[in-house]
Amino acid sequence: MVSHTMTRSLVAIDAAECVHHDGDTEEACQHVLTVLTALSDASRSGLVRHRATDLYYSSPAQHQKESAVRDLRDVLTA
């Protein structure tokens, strides 16, 4: 059974993905950062981590220097 925390996290990451597709990569990464930092280390794994990583890797190169994109990378590689 999927926990409510995981479900809410995935819904929030889905919303961030929509923001990203609408062209605001930095805002999308900030949303994902908010989700990830609210979770315990154990909850930052599996599908949640996979979806957050997908968003990071789909960020265009020109956005890689934006603070939220860098911060997301740092959280994902920690």
Residue 20 structural domain = 4-77
Q: Taking the model in full, what pTM does it have?
A: 0.89
Residue 76 has pLDDT above 80, yes or no: yes
Residue 1 has a pLDDT of 46
Residue 2 has pLDDT above 80, yes or no: no
How many domains in the chain? 1
pLDDT tens per residue, range 9-56: 999 999 999 999 999 999 999 999 999 999 998 888 899 999 999 999
Average pLDDT (70-75) is 95
Amino acid at 11: V
Q: And the tokens for 32?
A: 């994902």
Q: Rg of the Cα trace of the chain?
A: 12
